[in-house]
C-alpha cells in the first residue's frame, strides 16, 4: 500500500453510511471548535449528499444527530462572530480615540 493510499484511508471515514455521517458530524464539530470554517463548509456539503445514502429507516435518527451537531457548530460560529465584532468595536474605539486626540491637540 502506498503512503498516499494509507493517508487517504486515514482521512476517509469508514463504515456504513450512517456511521460515516456520524463520524463526519464529529469532525465538523471539531473543526468549528478550531474555527476552521472552510473545513466546516466542506464537510457540510459532503454531509448533504451522504445523508441521502443512509437507509430510510435509519435516516430519522441520523438526521437528529446531524441537527444536534449543526446546532453546536452554529453556536461556535455565533461565538466567533461575537468575538470578531468585539475586536472590531475595540479597533474602532481606538481609531476614534486617536482621531479625537489629534483633533484636540492639533497634532
Per-residue confidence in pLDDT tens, the chain, 107 aa: 333 333 334 455 688 889 999 999 999 999 998 989 999 999 988 998 899 899 998 889 999 999 999 999 999 989 988 888 888 888 888 888 888 888 888 76
Q: And the C-alpha cell for 103?
A: 483633533
Q: How far is Cα 105 from Cα 21, in angstroms, rounded to an integer?
A: 62
pLDDT at 107: 66
Compute, in degrees rounded to 10, the torsion defined by CA atoms 41, 44, 50, 51: -170
Half-sphere exposure of 92 (CA within 13 A, CB side): 6
pTM: 0.63
The pLDDT value given to residue 8: 38
Going along the chain from its start, the domains and CATH numbers come out as 16-105 (1.20.58)
Alpha-carbon separation of residue 38 from 1, 28, 31, 33 (angstroms): 30, 10, 9, 13
Amino acid at each position: 500500500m502506498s503512503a498516499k493510499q494509507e493517508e487517504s484511508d486515514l482521512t476517509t471515514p469508514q463504515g456504513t453510511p450512517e456511521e460515516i455521517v456520524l463520524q463526519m458530524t464529529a469532525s465538523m464539530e471539531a473543526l468549528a471548535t478550531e474555527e476552521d470554517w472552510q473545513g466546516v463548509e466542506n464537510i457540510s456539503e459532503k454531509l448533504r449528499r451522504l445523508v441521502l445514502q443512509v437507509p430510510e429507516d435509519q435516516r430519522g435518527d441520523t438526521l437528529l444527530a446531524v441537527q444536534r451537531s449543526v446546532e453546536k457548530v452554529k453556536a461556535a460560529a455565533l461565538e466567533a462572530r461575537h468575538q470578531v465584532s468585539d475586536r472590531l468595536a475595540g479597533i474602532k474605539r481606538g481609531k476614534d480615540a486617536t482621531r479625537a486626540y489629534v483633533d484636540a491637540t492639533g497634532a
